Structure 1
Amino acid sequence: MNTLILLYLVLFVAPISNLIHELGHLIGAKLAKADEVKLYLGRGTSVCKFVYRTTEIDIGSVFFTSGFTVSRREEVYKPIEIVYITFFGPFLNAAVALILYLLFLHMQNDYILVLMLYNCWLFVMNCIPFKIKDQQSDGYIIMKELIGKGNK
């Protein structure tokens, strides 16, 4: 892998793909009529914040790392709402990967390929149910809600 592709992966692909993933959760929360949604991209000190009505996007100084989205609603979410809020993150990565694949078929390019593969990777990894300490994958949250242990 050449240096340019590596820089592209770290500085562009990872943050954009993570943003796409978190925007999926944000869309799911909006569909569930969340009272407030906060999307965090990256870690570290906040360097940029966008606020629009009840939605906030906060970008950290280490923007190329992961992100997370938090939503709240006065009325408690039903398990099925938690499932689709959670599912929309990986789903949006899969949709973007499919679009990039179709684009790649017509315009083969390493940059499109890396972006497509990273979105595929995010989709697959987030669908696998696992829990490490307090961190739960999207697949784990969905599985937990579907088998009825989400509210216990």
Structure 2
Amino acid sequence: MIDIIYLLIFICFIAPISLLFHELGHVVGAILMKASFIRLTIGIGNELWQGTFQHVQIIIRRFFLINSLTSTIREEPFERSEKIMITLMGPVFSGLLAAIFYVMYHLFFSTYILYIVFLFNIWLMIINLLPFKIGQKQSDGYTIYKLIVKHK
């Protein structure tokens, strides 16, 4: 029974919050690169909620537990290095969240949940840095790889 509770906590809270934090990394990267417009989409399916804060639009869709995407626009096209920075910030934020939960686990509360959050975010960081493409969906690592190879 306790395993089912941990699984539900993971599916309903840890994974979506970790994915959101990852996407916020891309948003921060886009803000640092002076994007004119940023769209953060969480989930797939029908739109549940939409809001805009300054030049950042947030869209939450019905199945918010899976799939998230950040897109950016700027009048002046982004340089290759700027695109790499925006793309890299997602995995960096996942690594940052993993580090925070690792410290919390070891210094404050040695609970199973904190360790799961740490492990999931390490996995999220690594898997997003690996270059792969499945259908139309590509990893951050693949995007960075294409940006580097395209300009050699």
Q: TM-score range by the shorter chain?
A: over 0.9
Residue matched to 1:58? 59
TM-score, normalised to structure 1's length?
Answer: 0.94
**Secondary structure at the counterpart of residue 59 of structure 1:** strand
Q: After superposition, what is the alpha-carbon deviation per residue over 1:57-78, rounded to whole angstroms, capped at 9, x for unaligned?
A: 1111111112010101111110
CA separation in 1, counterparts of 2:61 and 2:120?
21
CA separation in 1, counterparts of 2:133 and 2:151?
14
Of stretches 140-149 and 64-73 in structure 1, the one that deviates more from structure 2 is 140-149
CA separation in 1, counterparts of 2:149 and 2:102?
34
Residue matched to 2:69? 68
Task: Using the aligned pairs only, state the percent identity.
Answer: 35
CA separation in 2, counterparts of 1:70 and 1:51?
14
Residue 82 of structure 2 corresponds to residue 81 of structure 1:
yes
Structure 1 stretches of at least 4 aligned residues deviating more than 3 Å after TM superposition: none
**Secondary structure at the counterpart of residue 9 of structure 1:** helix
CA separation in 2, counterparts of 1:126 and 1:48?
27
**Secondary structure at the counterpart of residue 48 of structure 1:** strand
Gaps of 5+ in 1: none
Contact kept? 1:38, 1:58, Cα under 8 Å: yes
Query: Residue 117 of structure 2 aligns to which amino acid in structure 1?
Result: L
**Secondary structure at the counterpart of residue 150 of structure 2:** coil
Query: Residue 36 of structure 1 aligns to which amino acid in structure 2?
Result: F
Contact kept? 1:51, 1:57, Cα under 8 Å: yes
Residue 107 of structure 2 corresponds to residue 99 of structure 1:
no
C-alpha displacement of 1:50: 2.2
CA separation in 1, counterparts of 2:112 and 2:50?
32
Matches within 5 A, 1:1-152: 2-106=3-107, 107-149=109-151
Query: Residue 50 of structure 2 aligns to which amino acid in structure 1?
Result: K
Contact kept? 1:35, 1:73, Cα under 8 Å: yes
**Secondary structure at the counterpart of residue 62 of structure 1:** strand
C-alpha displacement of 1:134: 2.0
